[in-house]
């Protein structure tokens, strides 16, 4: 009889414990998000975390837009510069090269026209002072064209350096909300904690998605800009060689005229 009573008490205890666990499990499950895909986690996230994610998505869009625009621009100006340099290597005079450029506004054309402008202002003076003035004009054009081609790439450095921290802020905020939810639900079940933490970590993931391409693209554009700057340096050297040849021709003509 006593053994039967003990069995009944034990069975009742197990049934009560099972019912209690089932009730506790059902309450959080009703509160859990049903969609744990990236879009579902975004929709279930806090408004601050959503704002962080939207900002990071916009930063990523800006990164790829700058990459596309600058890649096209660099390809165009590089091809134009190489074409001008080939023309200069063929050995026309400074006046002929300036006439070939016409009213074009590309970098090498501006270098040639700037040198021709200084030559026209200096008259027949081909002294060292003329060469120094011409080099100053050419350097100014080179710096201006380099700044123009690099314009817009600074935002990539900003995105690459700040996006991970912005994503981390969203993660910290989301985890704080998860802990608040744990406190309110009176349970420490991993099934309750995990979705909120996953939503928070999504912000860090988006931060890395925005930052890594920005850094890679910025370095790529920096190398391409350096290559373009080197082309402008080659064009400037060709122009100075052309001026030197013109000076030698003028000296030879004066020598023959004196004879």
Confidence (pLDDT) at 161: 92
Task: Indicate the pLDDT class of residue 251, thresholds 50, 70 and 90.
Answer: low
Task: Indicate the pLDDT class of residue 174, thresholds 50, 70 and 90.
Answer: confident
Any idea what the Cα angle at residue 43 is, between residues 41 and 45, rounded to 5°? Answer: 65
Q: Which DSSP category does 151 fall into?
A: T
Please state whether the predicted TM-score (pTM) of the whole model is above 0.85.
Answer: no
The pLDDT tens digits for 208-217 are: 999 999 999 9
The pLDDT tens digits for 18-39 are: 434 444 444 444 444 455 666 6
Please say whether the beta carbons of 164 and 137 come within 8 A. Answer: no
Please say whether the beta carbons of 193 and 131 come within 8 A. Answer: no
C-alpha–C-alpha distance, residues 54 and 59, integer Å: 9
For the ranges 2-6, 92-96, 152-156, 182-186, the one whose mean pLDDT is highest = 152-156
Confidence (pLDDT) at 119: 80
Mean pLDDT for the chain overall: 78
Confidence (pLDDT) at 159: 94
**Average pLDDT, integer, range 74-87:** 90
Confidence (pLDDT) at 241: 84
The 10 Å Cβ neighbour count of residue 23 is 9
Please say whether the beta carbons of 174 and 197 come within 8 A. Answer: yes
Look at 190 and 85; give whichever has higher pLDDT: 85
Q: What percent of the chain has pLDDT over 90?
A: 25
C-alpha–C-alpha distance, residues 49 and 141, integer Å: 47
Please say whether the beta carbons of 140 and 163 come within 8 A. Answer: no
Helix ranges (H only) for 94-189 are 94-101, 107-122, 128-150, 154-185
C-alpha–C-alpha distance, residues 215 and 7, integer Å: 69
Task: Indicate the pLDDT class of residue 259, thresholds 50, 70 and 90.
Answer: low
C-alpha–C-alpha distance, residues 29 and 223, integer Å: 54
The pLDDT tens digits for 110-153 are: 888 888 888 888 766 666 777 888 888 889 989 999 889 988 89
Residue 99, token pair as written in the block: 């006439």
Q: Provide the residue ranges of all domains of the chain, joining segments of one domain with +.
A: 1-31, 38-258
Four-point Cα dihedral 81, 103, 148, 97, nearest 10: 40
The pLDDT tens digits for 42-73 are: 666 678 888 888 999 999 999 999 999 999 99
Q: Which DSSP category does 239 fall into?
A: H
CA max distance for the chain: 145
C-alpha–C-alpha distance, residues 254 and 210, integer Å: 66
Residue 216 in 3-state DSSP? helix
């Amino acid at each position: 009889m006593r053994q039967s009573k003990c069995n009944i008490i034990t069975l009742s205890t197990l049934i009560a414990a099972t019912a209690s666990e089932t009730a506790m499990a059902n309450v959080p499950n009703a509160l859990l998000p049903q969609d744990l895909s990236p879009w579902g986690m975004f929709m279930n996230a806090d408004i601050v975390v959503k704002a962080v994610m939207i900002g990071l998505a916009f930063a990523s869009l800006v990164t790829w837009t700058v990459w596309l625009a600058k890649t096209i621009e660099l390809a165009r100006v590089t091809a134009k510069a190489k074409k001008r340099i080939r023309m200069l290597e063929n050995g026309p005079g400074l006046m002929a090269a300036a006439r070939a450029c016409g009213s074009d506004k590309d970098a090498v054309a501006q270098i040639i026209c700037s040198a021709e402008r200084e030559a026209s202002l200096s008259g027949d003076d081909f002294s060292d002072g003329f060469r120094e003035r011409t080099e100053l004009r050419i350097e100014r054009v080179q710096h201006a064209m380099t700044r123009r081609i690099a314009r817009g790439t600074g935002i990539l450095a900003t995105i690459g350096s700040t996006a991970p921290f912005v994503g981390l802020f969203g993660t910290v905020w989301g985890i704080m909300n998860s802990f608040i939810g744990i406190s309110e639900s009176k349970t420490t079940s991993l099934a309750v904690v995990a979705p909120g933490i996953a939503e928070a970590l999504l912000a860090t993931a988006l931060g890395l998605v925005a930052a890594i391409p920005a850094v890679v693209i910025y370095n790529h554009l920096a190398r391409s800009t350096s290559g373009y700057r080197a082309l402008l340096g080659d064009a400037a050297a060709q122009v100075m060689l052309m001026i030197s040849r013109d000076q030698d021709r003028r000296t030879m003509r004066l020598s023959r005229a004196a004879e």
